[in-house]
Amino acid sequence: MRAVKTVITRAGILKKEFPKDEEDELLLRALQDVNVPKFLKPDLPLFAGIISDLFPTTRKPEIDYGVLLNALILTCKEDGLQPVDSFLDKCIQLYDTTVVRHGLMLVGPTGQCMLDTCAMLLRTTARRIIQCSLTHYLCAVPPFRCSHVSRRRQDV
């Protein structure tokens, strides 16, 4: 039941973000966002077959991760890493998982970059949150203006 609740939660989030999109597409995307990160590579074709049976006429929704993807690539370059597609995909899958789950555990064989993926996503999202906060703050607060009038202490 937790998996069903998670899919419904993700579908609700997507419906709020994209109110004009078809519900079949949103549900398909919610199923993919919630389940694909949990599957091993050999299980993905089986999942794709099940999804195509459940949604035979629904096209696979294209997801725009432009801002997050650009921030991940920038963070990779700043850290001296190559932004390999499989690594970026795992970072995005981890991001999608954190959107709908309260907690998660990264498991896998040694050398699979689980810690790097988590650390990269943390640095990227922290940087993005700070940038958005500063942009919002700087746009919301009127510019500071210096007064050229000098005041003496007794005038105050």
Q: How many domains are contained in the chain? A: 2
- Residues 26 and 87 grouped into a single domain: no
Question: How far is residue 45 from each of residues 50, 60, 71, 139, measured CA to CA in Å?
Answer: 9, 14, 30, 47
| Co-location of 40 and 78 in the same domain | no
- Is residue 152 domain-resident? no
**pLDDT score for 114:** 62
- Same domain for 101 and 121? yes
Residue 59 located in a structural domain: no
83 located within any domain = yes
Residue 135 corresponds to which tokens in the numbers above? 């942009």
pLDDT of residue 82: 85
Q: Residue 70 belongs to what domain range?
A: 66-140
Residue 113: its pLDDT value, please? 63
Q: Are residues 70 and 133 in the same domain?
A: yes
Whether 20 is in a domain gets the answer: yes
Report yes or no on whether pTM surpasses 0.85: no
Q: What distance in Å separates the CA atoms of residue 54 and residue 29, rounded to the nearest whole number? A: 13
Residue type, 50: I
pLDDT on residue 47 = 92
Identify the pLDDT of residue 129.
61
Question: Are 109 and 134 members of one domain?
Answer: yes
Divide the 156 residues of the chain into consecutive groups of 10 and give the mean pLDDT of each group: 81 90 90 85 91 88 80 83 83 78 68 66 67 50 38 43
Same domain, 38 and 77: no
